[in-house]
Amino acid sequence: MLSPAKTPAGIRAEPLVSLENVGVLRNGRWLVRGIDFSVSRGEIVTLIGPNGSGKSTSAKAAIGVLKPDEGRVERKPGLKVGYVPQKLSIDWTLPLSVRRLMTLTGPLPERDIAAALDAAGMAHMLDAEVQHLSGGEFQRALMARAIARKPDLLVLDEPVQGVDFAGEIALYDLIKSIRNATGCGILLISHDLHVVMAETDTVICLNGHVCCRGTPESVSRSPEYVRLFGSRAAQTLAVYSHHHDHTHLPDGRVQHADGTVTGHCFPDDGHHGHDHSHDHDHAGHDHSHDHGHAEHDPGHDHPHPHVHAEGERHA
Amino acid sequence: MLDDFFVRAILAGVGLALTTGPLGCFIIWRRMAYFGDTIAHSALLGVALSLLFELNLTLAVFAVAAFVSILLLFLQKRQALSADALLGILSHATLAIGLVMVAFMSWVRIDLIAFLFGDILAVSTTDIALIWGGGLFVLAAIAWLWRPLLAATVNAELAEAEGLKPERARLFFMLLMAVVIAIAMKIVGIMLITSLLIIPAAAARRFSPTPEIMAVLASLIGAVAVVGGLFGSLTYDTPSGPSIVVAALILFMLSLLPVRRHRAITQGQGS
């Protein structure tokens, strides 16, 4: 097995993919703009942000599914990508077993298929039809398909959607072990604004642009969270606490902390005074509020990490 | 043997059914039934143009069908109207323009019914050669495009991300549809072509554990429908094209009958 060796901060390995000032324009509207990030071998990068903030768009630009309208995307020549898309619906009329799903985009040796399904805990489902799988099983089957290809870069768009809390921890453990075993780079999109995988090297918070980036704080260091998540989960999850100095209004304009409203949102438009300093005082908060909110609200200025206890996950 | 019109009809029909099986599977997997109808209806415009400019009928029908396919691809990208509305407009517009043009050409007398509903009993040996030659070409192309087409059917972005070319595969698929419609028009006619694509594939679904088996089964079921329909048409003196479709429908309904299957029961439990 290859030893992955987390990329030490400062000494960057040659990136598998790097985005420079990427913007994607659709129907006269910038879906994302000014996106900069890269993923290197053995590195786990997590994209977070509210709905419609351009996480999937940025990931698609990174793997070449979307062509950027400005900026540059550079991929290592011959880069092999494994992709788990966010939404995948297979028409009932298409007879597709898990076995056949595995070789959808290319032939694979039988033992690679078996090993990948085994790693994802799906070995017993080899001959099941994908339409009969539960949401969590389907996610794991898709993940197995992506890793069986032995990709250089694994792109996972909300891989834990529709998976219960225990399943989520198991999937994050799986992602970690894939990285450790193969040393591939992983670009992970999280549906959660504040709770990310503990192994994440870099968190990038998007909201049409890169709002901020940083490293997550391990949950296991805070007794509060250990109590909330359970000690096993606390090893796997981490918090990324941050607050934003501007709010995206429903009509697409942007209200800044100084009260002004502009029609756009650029890092260097003079309204963003932040030097990416985040308040890391999350430890002492009491999260007794019930989660009556409808999904993530578009103006996502939560100053505190909000934590979903078991049973409160978003589907 | 080929002198007998009935044997020629069976050869032509079976050749066509074998070709439409795999194509029809993609039509139902991708929910493109209405698309198939639209391309088929545009064939009448091809007929009218071939009469007007004295062109080869099959080539003219192929050219118009290919043009309409590409026009659809282009218009869908503009996203001005829903795909559904676009198909409805193009489908009936091309059919109506074709009918109007034929009516204007008072100097030609054509049997519209033969174009609309097919005249399989009138196929010549040349037609059979065209059907089998064209059919083999289409099947070879489908086999070559199989992986990207199937991956793009599941998810186009996934196919693209993992190095396949779904857009190109889709374009080729539409051109293959145009080929099939050009060679199928004589057999079942413009109005019934899509039924020979869709019904055998739908009937094959229940007995197919993999997409590949479904494609082969759809071809075989189509061939059985052709033979059954032709014998029915001979026995009951019914029009041949519609009889083939009715035979396909009967096979489809038979496929829906509940059959006790052990596999279905054990499958859910896993191991």
Span B72-120, pLDDT tens digits: 888 877 767 788 888 899 999 999 999 899 888 888 777 888 888 888 8
User: Which chain B residues are Cβ-neighbours of A132 within 8 angstroms?
Assistant: 267-268
User: Which chain B residues are Cβ-neighbours of A105 within 8 angstroms?
Assistant: 147, 151, 158-159, 162-164
Interface contact B211-A105, CB threshold 8 A: no
- The predicted structure's pLDDT at residue B233: 92
Q: What is the mean pLDDT of residues B192-206?
A: 93
- The predicted structure's pLDDT at residue A256: 64
As a whole number of angstroms, the distance between CA A37 and CA A58 comes to 10
Task: Give the residue from chain A lying closest to B208, CA to CA.
Answer: A95
User: Which chain B residues are Cβ-neighbours of A85 within 8 angstroms?
Assistant: 155, 157-158
Q: What is the mean pLDDT of residues B178-204?
A: 90
The DSSP string of A30-47 is EEEEEEEEEEETT-EEEE
Interface contact A94-B271, CB threshold 8 A: no
Tell me how close the Cα of B172 comes to any Cα of chain A, in angstroms: 18
- Among B27, B32, B154, which would you mutate to test the A interface (most chain A Cβ atoms within 10 Å of its Cβ)? B154
Task: Give the residue from chain B lying closest to A91, CA to CA.
Answer: B29
- The predicted structure's pLDDT at residue A41: 92
Per-residue pLDDT of chain A (315 residues; tens, 9 = 90+): 344 444 444 445 678 999 999 999 988 888 889 899 999 999 999 998 888 888 899 999 999 999 999 999 999 998 999 999 988 888 889 999 999 999 999 999 999 999 999 988 888 998 999 999 988 889 889 999 999 999 999 999 988 877 788 888 888 888 888 888 888 999 999 877 777 887 888 888 888 888 878 787 765 666 666 666 676 666 777 777 666 666 666 555 666 666 666 655 554 544 444 444 343 333 333 333 333 333 344 444 444 444 443 333 333
- The predicted structure's pLDDT at residue A12: 53
- Among B158, B207, B262, B267, which would you mutate to test the A interface (most chain A Cβ atoms within 10 Å of its Cβ)? B158
Residues of A within an 8 Å Cβ radius of B = 27, 60, 63-65, 80-83, 85, 88, 90-91, 93-97, 100-101, 104-106, 124-125, 127-129, 132, 149, 155
- Read off φ and ψ for residue B170, nearest 5 degrees: -65, -40
Residue % of chain B over a pLDDT of 90: 59
Task: Give the residue from chain A lying closest to B209, CA to CA.
Answer: A95
- The predicted structure's pLDDT at residue A7: 44
Token couple for A269: 């438009």
- The predicted structure's pLDDT at residue A43: 92
Interface contact B160-A104, CB threshold 8 A: no
- The predicted structure's pLDDT at residue B264: 47
Tell me how close the Cα of B1 comes to any Cα of chain A, in angstroms: 40
- The predicted structure's pLDDT at residue B220: 97
Single-letter amino acid code for the residue at B179 = V
Interface contact A64-B157, CB threshold 8 A: no
Task: Give the residue from chain A lying closest to B162, CA to CA.
Answer: A81
- The predicted structure's pLDDT at residue A247: 63
Q: Which of B106, B116, B131 is nearest to B51 (CA)?
A: B106
Tell me how close the Cα of A64 comes to any Cα of chain B, in angstroms: 7
User: Which chain A residues are Cβ-neighbours of B155 within 8 angstroms?
Assistant: 85, 88
Q: Is A196 exposed, middle or buried (0-12, 13-18, 19+ CB in 10 A)?
A: buried
Task: Give the residue from chain A lying closest to B153, CA to CA.
Answer: A90
Q: Which of B20, B240, B248, B21 is nearest to B123 (CA)?
A: B240
Considering only CB atoms, B151 lies closest to which of A95, A104, A125, namely A104
Q: What is the ipTM of this complex?
A: 0.82
User: Which chain B residues are Cβ-neighbours of A127 within 8 angstroms?
Assistant: 267
| Tens-digit pLDDT profile for residues B21-34 | 999 999 999 988 89
Interface contact A83-B162, CB threshold 8 A: yes
Interface contact B268-A93, CB threshold 8 A: no
Degrees (nearest 5) of the Cα angle B112, B116, B118? 100
Interface contact B29-A60, CB threshold 8 A: no
- The predicted structure's pLDDT at residue B2: 57
Interface contact A85-B158, CB threshold 8 A: yes
As a whole number of angstroms, the distance between CA B187 and CA B122 comes to 9
Cα-trace Rg, chain B: 19
Interface contact A104-B158, CB threshold 8 A: yes
- Residue B261 — pLDDT band, cuts 50, 70, 90? low
Tell me how close the Cα of A65 comes to any Cα of chain B, in angstroms: 6
Considering only CB atoms, A94 lies closest to which of B29, B147, B161, namely B29
End-to-end CA distance of chain A: 35
As a whole number of angstroms, the distance between CA B234 and CA B13 comes to 14
Whole-model pTM: value is 0.79
User: Which chain B residues are Cβ-neighbours of A91 within 8 angstroms?
Assistant: 28-31, 153
Tell me how close the Cα of A169 comes to any Cα of chain B, in angstroms: 24
Residues of B within an 8 Å Cβ radius of A = 28-31, 79, 147, 150-151, 153-155, 157-164, 201-202, 205, 208-211, 213-214, 267-268, 270-271
- The predicted structure's pLDDT at residue A305: 41
Q: Which residues of B12-41 are buried (b: 16+ CB within 10 A; e: fewer)?
A: bbbbbbbbbbbbbbbbbbbebbbbbbbbbb
| Tens-digit pLDDT profile for residues A117-155 | 998 888 899 899 999 998 888 988 999 999 999 999 999
Q: Which of A1, A10, A38, A26 is nearest to A213 (CA)?
A: A38
